[in-house]
Amino acid sequence: MGFRSKDEVGTAAATLVGIVVLIGAIAFMVLAPKPTTKGLVAAQRREESTILKDISKAHATLAASQTDVQSQTWKGAAQDVGAGALKQMNALALAHKVKLSGFRPQRSSTTAGLELIPYSMTAEGSFTDVLRFVKAIENPDTKLTVNLVQIGSSEANTDQVTASIGITAYRAVEEAKHA
């Protein structure tokens, strides 16, 4: 290759580099394997399968949780809950030799689809009988929770006490169903 001037050497080198790059790009396009959608579709299906399994597990967990909640909540009207709770407290008081001298409903509230219906009551008896009575209230079969216990001595030099006990019943709130 003969160059007439030194300026032509730079132009020729740039042209040569451009031709080599163009030949390399053409060779890559011809020789490189064509991308397929088969791998992408397989990865997407694996991800979809994983998501569906997670959704299935979440539905099973939700169903189990709803069953647990239903087993611990009262059915029926709020008035029926109060009557049922009083009946249970009278039966437990009799079984534990405790005297109930008061059972009063408090202001209810609703949260997360549950109506919380609190009651306060006063129980009198020996210290150990009152403690056993409170423990019996917390049995899951009663569907009640104890949220307050205040015990005070009722007679000097005896084990007789008076306890103020707060309990809460949980009732599932019926949601309006749209037709």
> pLDDT band at residue 176, thresholds of 50, 70 and 90?
very low
What tokens does 109 get? 């509230």
pLDDT above 50 for 107: yes
The Cα-based distances of 56 to 2, 45, 61, 63 in angstroms read 77, 16, 9, 11
Q: What is the value of pTM for the model shown?
A: 0.64
Q: How far is CA 111 from CA 62, 76, 117, 173, in A?
A: 18, 17, 11, 9
Q: How far apart are CA 81 and CA 45, in angstroms?
A: 51
How much is the mean pLDDT over the chain? 87
